[in-house]
Each structure stands twice: as C-alpha cells, then as structure tokens.
Amino acid sequence: MISELGEFGLISRFRRPIKTDSSVIKGSGDDCAVIKFDRKGYLLFTCDMITQGVDFLPGDDPYLIGKKAVNISISDIAACGGKPRYCLIALGLPKKAALTYIDRLAKGFFEACGKYKINIAGGDVSSADKLTIDVSMLGVVKKKDLVLRGGAKPGDIIFVTGSLGGSIRGKHLKFGPRLKEAQFLAENFKPTAMIDISDGLTQDLGHIMEESRAGAVIYEELIPLSAQARNLSEALYMGEDFELLFTLSPQEAKRLALKRLSVYKPIGQIMNKGYGLKIIERSGKEKPVKPRGFRHF
Amino acid sequence: MISELGEFGLISRFRRPIKTDSSVIKGSGDDCAVIKFDRKGYLLFTCDMITQGVDFLPGDDPYLIGKKAVNISISDIAACGGKPRYCLIALGLPKKAALTYIDRLAKGFFEACGKYKINIAGGDVSSADKLTIDVSMLGVVKKKDLVLRGGAKPGDIIFVTGSLGGSIRGKHLKFGPRLKEAQFLAENFKPTAMIDISDGLTQDLGHIMEESRAGAVIYEELIPLSAQARNLSEALYMGEDFELLFTLSPQEAKRLALKRLSVYKPIGQIMNKGYGLKIIERSGKEKPVKPRGFRHF
C-alpha cells in the first residue's frame, strides 16, 4: 500500500526512471518544469489537482474553490520567478451538480485568470463522483529571472512573505498568490532559491535543503504567525499557506532589508548539509526539527 | 442539474465568457489549444482527464490504463498535425492502492511516453477516492502543418483511418494513437480539417461540421467496421475509436488515393451547411442523421 512509501517515497518511485532530453532544463522536483523556449526565456509548465474531501469540502463556496484551483498553479509559476500566461482546466463534475454551483465555480476560474491576464486556452469536462479540478498552466520566465529550489548556499538568509499557520481556517480558499512579490524579487534581487509554501514551512524548507544539499536554522521568534494560527506548530507543519519561502545572499538580504518592505521577513539562515534543520527557541535553545507537513499518503 | 444542459451545453456555457489575447491562435473548441511560439511554429496544449468507472474499470490492467491516459493526449496533438514533446501527469490515487498496481500504472506512462520520445516533465500526486488521471501535454507544430476542425469546404472528401466501432470491447485501452499517419498527412497533403474520433464518428464529424459551418454525407457501405463492432450503429455513435477523421480537397484526395495506402479510407463528402448530416444506406436511401455519441452528461 501507498502508506508504506509515503507521499514523497511515492513521488521518488515515479521520478527515478524518468529521463528527459536536453530541452528540459528542470523536470520533476521543483515548483514547475522548466523548458527551453527562446533566446531570452524559458517556458514554465505546472499542474495541480484538487479534489473534494481533500482540498476543499462539499459545503465550501464553489466560487472560492474555482479561484483556489487556479491560484495554486499561479503560486507555482510565481515561485519560479515567472509570469503565468495560459491554462487548461480539466474538470471532473458530479452528474447531479447544480447549474448555479457550476456557474459559481466558473466565476472563480474566470476571476482568478482575469486578474492576472491568464488565457484560459481550453480544458476537458468529464463526469466524476466527486468534484475534481486539475489546472495545468504555462508561464514564461526570463532566463536571468529563473529561481529554482536548488541554489541556496550556507550563509544565505531565509525569508518568508506574509504570515504562516492556520490556513485551514479560511486562508487556503482565499489566499492571493504572491505573484507581484515574487516578480519583484526575481527582477530586483537574486534569490538563490524559492518555493511556495504548500506543504508547510518545515517540509518546504526541507525541499530547498534537499535540492540545495544544505541545512538550515530558523528562529522561533522570527516566524510570523498568522492571526488564524493557534500555535507555532501550525506555522511549522501545516500546509497551504501559499506564501513564498526564499533565500538571498547576505549582501542581497541587506539590500532587501534597506527597502523596509514589511511583507518580506527574515526567519533564519542556510547552513551546511550536516547541520540538518534546527529551530532556535525563544529561550535560545537549539532544537533539531524533522521537516514535515501535509502529506496525501 | 447538468443533465438539463448536456455535455456540450455545459462546455459552451463555460466557453462563452472566455476571452483570450492575440497570442492564442485557437482556444477552446479544437483538439488542442494553439499558441504562438516562434517564427515557424506553434505550441499545442491539451489535457484529458480519465476516471475509474467512466473511462476504465477497477479490474482493468493498470499498465493499459497508464498507456491510455497518455495516448489520448497524443491523439489530440496528432489531430492538429503536431508532435507531442512534454507532459505532466496529475494523479489522484486511492490510499489503499497496492504498490504493484502503481508500478504497472507508471510502466504504462513510461512506455507510452518513451515510444514517442515525450518528456515527462513533472506532475502532481494527491489522494482520491477513485483513480483519476489528468495528462496535460505540450506539442509543437509547424505553422504550415497545423490542421484545425474549421477548414472543411463543400466538395471536400471525408476520410477515416483504420476501422470503427466496438472500441469498448478492448480497443479503447489498447489503441495506438495515429501520430505517424497524422504527421504523414500534415506534411504531405493539406488536410482541410482533422479531429480524432473520441466521442464517436457522427458526433466528431458534427464538430467538424460546426466549426467549418458545413454539412456532410457519409456512405454506409464505405464505413470500415472493426472486427469488434456488432453493427453500424456502434461505428456511428460509440466513442473512443481514437482514429483520425479528416477532410481533403478533391485534388488532394485523389493524390492520396493514388498512394494506395489502405489505412486511409474515404467515407463521404462535405456538403453545404443546409444539407445537415445524412447517411446513404446500402439501398441508396438518403437518411438524415443527428450527430451523437458518447456524452458524459
């Protein structure tokens, strides 16, 4: 059974035999696939499937579900430093869905795409027992603006946007993807690594650590808790914040700090791989942390 | 409820408010979305979602299910005259799926992609009650080779590849997409319209008629029945043949006929819009036909 492997065991089982040609700059293992495009830029290609009962509940507003489905993929494109341009929406719809329900769902798709000038280029509709939505999205990124998970170096400063935790109590359906903030960073700073926090802070920091072959230290007192978060654990281990987690060299971090933009908050530093992941508690005590967060299996 | 609208009512309800910018050569309403790429070519972008209980059954071989999921999207790219290049696989997996099941599913993905040199650029895995697979695929097509549904003209000859009907009794899981045949046509002839038969001959011919604003006549005695088809109705109205349906000007049709390639078979002719769709029975009787086939709702 899948539970023996866990979600990431499962993913690596799928990833192992995959071979790609030289036009694939980065395949599976980042927020988007990165594909050669033209002299100046790359294509970004990503998809996210959400299902009733896992990512939203039967009683949730379909307008918000539609927006979420699109915004998740926008967040992935943003985390690579790119601009979303085109999407396809594959929809598995229960036969007894009401037309008013479908219209509100569509309104969510249209508004989220319209806000960021994303072309809905097509889609697919089929019947399903439970509402299932897979949005696949194409974006573009200038070569010089591309940010992946694998470039963080010991000494780099770790930042997050916004605040973390308690997303399950509302924000997961209402977040705005950090597209503007990510583009500002990609164009004006040189983030060494970036990811959107979909699985939870420690798990997504773990992805940066793994791809960058590095360790990390974070400071409890620096972690910005959202108003919905009940405690630190929710900020560390709960998913769907959809904030950006990124790293800057000390020089770039200083330059960002001088801008006094409250949305970007330093929370720690990249360390050597052997250090692992540790949190410095308010008392000053250093505590090892195992990266974990939301897992499907 | 959706059933009041039907599948195509539902799709047009979704399509109506969609606006796209000038980089979208063709949005929803064809086998693929067509997007500006470079001086010589376009990007083709398509997705297809399949779900247990609708597109395959619990007892079906997961290896064949994996192949089918990929081959459906290849068939869409082929129908536009293009070459498939990249795909993402979004997977909704039941938590209690066995590892051997997942491995065979993955083997199906890898083999189908490997055969046509398609890069699996990434994907998404989440938990779901029933196995759900959405493959989104990117292809490329030379501008001069692009074939859409909308270019058929009265007098054009209608062709199909292979044979039709009874796909439900096996072929729907084992078909090979007609990529080679479609590329041969796109490169050497000038098909005025092309589509893959996923919904059934009359329904997909109806799509060509609608997009081309034309009518059509087909001849019963010319329709190639597959060995699995029990009767003509199955060839006319049953889905998932995944054969090509295309039209050629009379001159090009003659040129193709001279090649004596048995895979391409003429079955009728494009007529004026007012003619509608008719079938000439073996007796010579002309019978009006309503385009219909597989519908999800």
Find out whether B67 and B111 touch, Cβ atoms under 8 Å. Answer: yes
Structure confidence by residue, pLDDT tens digits, A29-87: 899 999 999 999 999 999 999 999 999 999 999 999 999 999 999 999 999 999 999 99
- Tens of pLDDT, residues B8-41: 888 888 877 788 999 999 998 899 999 999 999 9
Q: Where in chain B is the domain with CATH 3.30.1330.10?
A: 17-144
Collect contacts of A11-18 with beta carbons under 8 A, ≥24 apart. Answer: A11/B125, A13/B102, A13/B103, A13/B106, A14/B106, A14/B123, A14/B125, A17/B106, A17/B110, A18/B110, A18/B120
- Does residue A16 have a pLDDT over 90? no
Exposure b/e, B113-126, CB count within 10 A at least 16 = b: beebebbbbbbbbb
The pLDDT value recorded for residue B221 is 97
**Assigned fold of B17-144:** 60s Ribosomal Protein L30; Chain: A; (3.30.1330)
Q: Which CATH code fits A36-143?
A: 3.30.1330.10
Closest-CA distance, B33 to chain A, in angstroms, reads 6
Contact A103, A63 (CB under 8 A): no
B14–chain A Cβ distance below 8 A for any pair = yes
The answer to whether B294 faces chain A, any CB pair under 8 Å, is no
**Coil, helix or strand for A10?**
helix
Of A168, A57, A74, A54, which is closest to residue A119 (Cα–Cα)?
A: A74
What is the model's pLDDT at position B28? 87
Q: Does the pLDDT at position A188 exceed 90?
A: yes
Other Cβ atoms closer than 10 A to A168: 14
pTM confidence score: 0.95
Per-residue model confidence (pLDDT) at position B61 = 96
- At residue A18, the pLDDT reads 83
Q: Chain-wide mean pLDDT for chain A?
A: 94
pLDDT computed for residue A15 by the predictor: 79
Cβ atoms within 10 Å of B213's Cβ, excluding its own: 11
User: Is there a contact between B136 and A88 if contact means CB atoms under 8 Å apart?
Assistant: yes
State residue B17's pLDDT score: 76
A140-174: pLDDT as tens digits: 999 999 999 999 999 999 999 999 998 988 889 99
Which residue in the block uniquely carries the two structure tokens 């983030």? A191
| pLDDT beneath 50, residues of chain B | none
CB contact under 8 A, B110 and A18: yes
User: What pLDDT shows up at residue A10?
Assistant: 81
The segment(s) of chain A belonging to CATH 3.30.1330.10 are 36-143
Q: Are the beta carbons of B32 and A122 separated by less than 8 Å?
A: yes
CB pairs under 8 A between A and B: 227
Q: Where in chain A is the domain with CATH 3.90.650.10?
A: 147-288
B106 touches chain A (CB under 8 A): yes
DSSP tag of A210:
H
pLDDT at position B19: 83
The rounded distance, in Å, linking the Cα atoms of A25 and B36 is 21
Strand order in the sheet with A264-271: A193-196, A244-248, A157-161, A264-271, A215-219, A277-280, A286-288
Sign of CA dihedral A33, A37, A40, A41: negative
Say which CATH architecture domain B147-288 belongs to.
Answer: Alpha-Beta Complex (3.90)
Q: Please state the rounded mean pLDDT for residues A114-132.
A: 94
* Model pLDDT, residue B55: 92
Hey, is A23 helix, strand or coil? coil
Residue of A39, A127, A207, A294 best to disrupt the B interface, most CBs of B under 10 A: A127
Q: Which value does ipTM take for this structure?
A: 0.94
What pLDDT score does B294 carry?
A: 80
